[in-house]
Amino acid sequence: MEHTEFRVKAKEMVDYIADYLENIRDRRVYPGVQPGYLHKLLPKEAPVAPEKWDDIFRDVDQHIMPGLVHWQSPHMHAYFPALTSYPSIMGEMLSSAINVLCFTWASSPAGTELETISMNWLGKLLGLPDCFLNEKNDSPGGGVIQTTASEATLVSLLAARTRALMELAELNPDMQSSELLGHLICYCSDQAHSSVEKAGLIGLVRMRYIESDENQSMRGAKLEEAILSDKAKGLVPFWVCATLGTTGSVAFDNLREVGEVCAQHAAWLHVDAAYAGSAFLCPEYRHWLDGVELADSFAFNPSKWLMVNFDCTAMWVKDSTALHRTFNVNPIYLRHENSGKAIDYMLGSENANIKRNGNKINQIKATIPAANGRLHNGKMDEDKDSSDDLYDDDDSKLHGYHKMSHGCGKKIQLENPDKKELLHWQIPLSRRFRALKLWFVLRNFGLVGLQKHIRESVRLAQKFEALVLADQRFEIPQQSNLGMVAFRMKGDNALTERLLKRLNARGFIHAVPACFKGVYVIRFTVTSPRTTNQDILDDWNEIKTVASEILMDVFG
């Protein structure tokens, strides 16, 4: 394809996109295809000769589109929203055309600086404390766009792990980092997203799940109890993940209580607000943020509810040097002459490298050896294995890694010998120019437009909730928050399971389930910014019709 054809076909594509979004209600939201359907429709080999664009695109329209779930549809209620918007699409179009990689400031200066600016804007709109912003060159705090919330959680855990290992190494100079690693433990609620468990698995650390209260919220007292009992066993609590807006029921951990416990025990506090974070643009929802100043890192997905298309996870840290120490590599091809002068996502200022967060972070003061009598001054008791039986609780969710090889045998370096090292904020090297679409959305909607969108989703969810509550056959077992309602048919779980299965098979609406302590529910999330009152009424009618059929089948 050359310039002339591109000008024509790309304009047609814009029309196709606008038609698609404008008429999305006409499409069945959930496809009626079976596994392998596309294999039967497309050739087994890639073409040898170039193909005409119109032929290629015909296949998109006829074969690909009918096999998609239409996430932008007002009748999409599964998972959480994954919204896009016209300014975001324009940002994605332009960034894919110029296709710059923003890994160092030098690799694309405006790309990096726009990311810093947009993240400062967004952090302020959310009401995050100044310590998370990066408005001064030597500020240790700052925001970075990660790919997903899962990645932000992993990055946070790895940074906290490095910090903990460095501090422990200082106290136990004779111990290898692999031995120290064996003593680390981290925490999240039993409602946390599976990505938190995954981060623990990748980080090779034990994870303990704190039982949430009747509102699915992790509370400080339970966390403290677990931490104290683990410390008594010689373990070192180093990281806690609090969730604001759980996946199952949009429940909120008590951030202030959890934060105070973390501060007390020098544990890094990460906040996963993947879905709910967007709501903090509205001051009326910020009570859930109370205590955020106690967090070390905070992440949410503008790619969920904020209409910035996937991928875009906004992550802020108070002390970016903890990230840099974790991902510290320094090949010659990434250095540039402005190293140390500009703030970017691999190269922080030299000052930032040595300066900790203004208020000195509490250091882990763990006396690992003394606590359980297994290790003394960094040396093993001769008749004991290094880490077996350190934790003999039978909680099935604890990750044992005692026998794993984790390649961490080298000693932790306490001081960075080369102040000119490159400072990394993320796992991959290459990074897309994602700030552009975020910046377009922030400017084109403005705070007022974004707040209107969030409030409208919440209003529509409340409308749906009222319809459910008015029907004697249904119930809502948990409190509904923000744009999600988890409902069920009264009686056996099997009724609600059948209802969901049949709704999804009909394809007019799409939803997924959740389970709270054995109670099966259907999650109904308001997703589209174009959802109307009538859409909600139509969805409810569909649900009522199918429920009546099921009750007739079962009870006659």
Q: Reduce the DSSP state of residue 299 to 3 states and report it.
A: strand
C-beta of 299 vs 364, nearer to ligand PLP: 299
CB of 71 to ligand PLP, least distance (A): 13
Which residue bears the tokens 């969710």?
397
Q: What binding mask, one character per residue, do residues 306-325 give for ligand PLP by CB under 6 A, x or -?
A: -------x------------
E strands of 197-272, at which residues? Answer: 206-210, 236-243, 268-272
Question: Which pair of structure tokens corresponds to residue 300?
Answer: 């949410």
CB of 150 to ligand PLP, least distance (A): 3
Q: How far apart are CA 156 and CA 426, in angstroms?
A: 10
| Residue (of 210, 197, 159, 165) closest to 183 by Cα position | 165
The binder of ligand PLP chosen from 24, 149, 164, 186 (CB under 6 A): 149
Q: How many CA atoms lie within 13 A of 168 on its CB side?
A: 30
Ordered strands of the 484-489 beta sheet: 474-475, 484-489, 519-525, 512-516
Residue type, 218: M
CB of 474 to ligand PLP, least distance (A): 24
Residues 73-92 within binding reach of ligand PLP (CB under 6 A): 80
The binder of ligand PLP chosen from 178, 301, 309, 457 (CB under 6 A): 301
CB of 12 to ligand PLP, least distance (A): 32
C-beta of 148 vs 545, nearer to ligand PLP: 148
CB 206 within 8 A of CB 184: yes
C-beta of 193 vs 265, nearer to ligand PLP: 193
| Residue (of 265, 255, 264, 239) closest to 291 by Cα position | 255
Phi, psi at residue 162, to the nearest 5°? -65, -45
The verdict on 195 binding ligand PLP (CB under 6 A) reads: yes
Segment near ligand PLP (CB under 6 A), from 118-126, 170-178, 240-248, 318-326? 240-248
Residues 263-282 within binding reach of ligand PLP (CB under 6 A): 272, 274-275
Length of the chain: 556
CB of 194 to ligand PLP, least distance (A): 8
CB of 253 to ligand PLP, least distance (A): 11
The verdict on 511 binding ligand PLP (CB under 6 A) reads: no
Residues 109-148 within binding reach of ligand PLP (CB under 6 A): 148
Q: Reduce the DSSP state of residue 281 to 3 states and report it.
A: helix
Residues 18-47 within binding reach of ligand PLP (CB under 6 A): none
Count of residues engaged in binding ligand PLP, rule: CB under 6 A: 14
Which residue bears the tokens 């209107």?
452
DSSP one-letter code for 62: I
C-beta of 181 vs 274, nearer to ligand PLP: 274
Q: Strands 268-272 and 297-300, how do they pair?
A: parallel
Q: How far apart are CA 429 and CA 102, in angstroms?
A: 9
C-beta of 81 vs 237, nearer to ligand PLP: 81
C-beta of 149 vs 347, nearer to ligand PLP: 149
The verdict on 193 binding ligand PLP (CB under 6 A) reads: yes
Give the residues lining the site for ligand PLP (CB under 6 A). Answer: 80, 148-150, 193, 195, 243, 246-247, 272, 274-275, 301, 313
